[in-house]
Amino acid sequence: MKRFAGFTLLELVFAMVILGLLSAVAIPKFINLSRETRIAKVQQMTGSVKAASSLINLKCRITPTCDLKSWGGNFVLDGRTAQLLYGWLDAGTVPGIGNVGVDAFIETNPHFMAVVTPDHTETQWRLISAPTPSACYAFYRQQPGPTAVPNPDIAPTVGNVTSGC
């Protein structure tokens, strides 16, 4: 009698059930990792913005011609003009001058991050791949306006929103 080598129908069904159960457990974990990855990207951008802002402020502090008590003073850094507010980068574009704020010094890939300035006091780096980009972003919010007491020790607010990631 000749014996055929192969799997029986019962063995194939059993293997498919096991694969189905494994995928039911693994897919939600993978989806959750995608969200965590998007949050990590936004947190990385937040860290980059904090570092750039602090470095430019320190450069201003050690440069004798940089005015720490001025609202809206220009400062040339590496051949680029920066608009400073008490020694910190401005948050947005300046009419007549253009993009001399914080977003001019943070390089991003436009396919991944969209730079948005909802008003002149804040810049946002929104993650395009997020389910809700308007709730998945890093932000830079400048300190109070020229009517406030000039204080170069008050840093801008840098943070993130990750509820839509």
Nearest-5° angle of CA 148, CA 149, CA 150?
Answer: 105
Strand positions, DSSP E, the chain:
71-77, 80-85, 88-89, 113-119, 122-127, 137-141, 157-161
Average pLDDT of the residues in 51-66: 88
Task: Tell whether pTM > 0.85.
Answer: no
What is the pLDDT confidence band of residue 137, given thresholds at 50, 70 and 90? very high
pLDDT over 70 at 40, yes or no: yes
pLDDT, tens digit, 9 for 90 and up, residues 66-115: 878 777 677 877 787 788 888 888 887 655 555 667 877 787 888 788 88
Predicted local distance difference test score (pLDDT) of residue 143? 76
